[in-house]
């Protein structure tokens, strides 16, 4: 349990920000994994440098947007997110996406550029091959048991959540919708992005290893850099301090080491 109250997030249609920082030099906008919500990045907020303002996408159909219909195709989701992010491009910004969120972040960067808005200062992609190299799948067509097995394989969902029938139904609904989105997604040909792309992965990720990230080099006019962290597909949970420090270094800021209010949701 969290002994101290967690401050509420400032909400913008599609985004959550727990610590608004009007003087911050740059905004970091995070795109969650399949089945994930904004709370997946809540524990990053106390670690953010004062010069970085954290925003996290809250996809429809989960957490405080549970009553909204899920979006199950990439174009619709990216248009929705671009509407939310566009006002934030008045300041330098970077995008970070994990797993499915990596493809969403890549598409979002192009959508913002297509709107003649400033490009991101950097794109960080994590736990996924380049869009044109990622394999398709049929996980979204499996029954609930098969979908649960996939979550167990990746290790990102606490077993106690899936043990509760009501929570399990909600989780599988969200995961199935997101898997439908990413498994039916067919990326178009895109020009390279005019910003650096940084590639993060866990050294024991069953989905993607460092050698699988080479395709991202073609997505940028700059050099693509690889950073490997200890852990599996969800390495960024136990290694959150190291990940935030790496992000801060790439963005030219310094991550804090002071312990702030610690949320109960990882």
- Residue 48 · residue 255 · CB < 8 Å: yes
Annotation marks residue 99 as catalytic: yes
Q: Which of 39, 99, 102, 126 is the catalytic position?
A: 99
Q: How far apart are CA 26 and CA 232, in angstroms?
A: 29
Q: List beta partners, residue 166.
A: none
Q: How far apart are CA 43 and CA 19, in angstroms?
A: 12
Nearest alpha-carbon partner for 135 in 221, 32, 225, 206: 206
DSSP assignment of 135-158: ----GGGS-HHHHHHHHHHHT-S-
Nearest alpha-carbon partner for 150 in 100, 106, 116: 100
Residue listed under structure tokens 């959150």: 240
E runs forming strands in the chain: 10-12, 15-17, 26-31, 52-57, 92-98, 122-126, 197-202, 224-229
Asked whether the CA dihedral 33, 248, 20, 235 is positive or negative, the reply is positive
Q: How far apart are CA 13 and CA 81, in angstroms?
A: 8
HSE, side-chain direction, 13 A CA sphere, residue 47? 18
Nearest alpha-carbon partner for 156 in 250, 75, 36, 240: 36
Residue listed under structure tokens 């219909």: 69
Catalytic residues: 99
């Amino acid at each position: 349990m969290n002994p101290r109250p967690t401050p509420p997030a400032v909400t913008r249609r599609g985004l959550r920000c727990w610590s608004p920082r009007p003087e911050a030099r740059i905004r970091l906008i995070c795109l969650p994994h399949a089945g994930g919500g904004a709370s997946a990045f809540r524990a990053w907020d106390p670690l953010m440098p004062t010069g970085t303002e954290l925003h996290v996408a809250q996809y429809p159909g989960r957490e405080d947007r549970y009553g909204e219909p899920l979006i199950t195709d990439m174009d619709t989701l990216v248009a929705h997110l671009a509407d939310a992010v566009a006002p934030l491009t008045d300041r330098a910004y970077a995008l970070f996406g994990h797993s499915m969120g990596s493809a969403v972040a890549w598409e979002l960067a192009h959508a913002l550029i297509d709107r003649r808005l400033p490009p991101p200062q950097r794109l960080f992609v994590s736990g996924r091959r380049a869009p044109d190299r990622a394999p398709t799948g049929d996980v979204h067509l499996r029954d609930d048991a098969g979908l649960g097995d996939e979550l167990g394989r990746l290790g990102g969902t606490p077993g106690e959540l899936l043990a509760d029938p009501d929570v399990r139904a909600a989780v599988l609904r969200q995961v199935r919708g997101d898997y439908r989105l990413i498994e039916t997604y067919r990326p178009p040909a895109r020009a390279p992005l005019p910003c650096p792309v940084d590639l993060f992965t866990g050294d024991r990720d069953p989905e993607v290893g460092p050698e699988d990230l080479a395709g991202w080099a073609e997505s940028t006019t700059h050099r693509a850099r690889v950073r490997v962290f200890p852990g599996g597909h969800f390495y960024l949970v136990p290694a959150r301090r190291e990940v935030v420090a790496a992000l801060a270094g790439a963005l030219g800021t310094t991550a804090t080491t002071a312990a702030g209010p610690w949320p109960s949701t990882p």
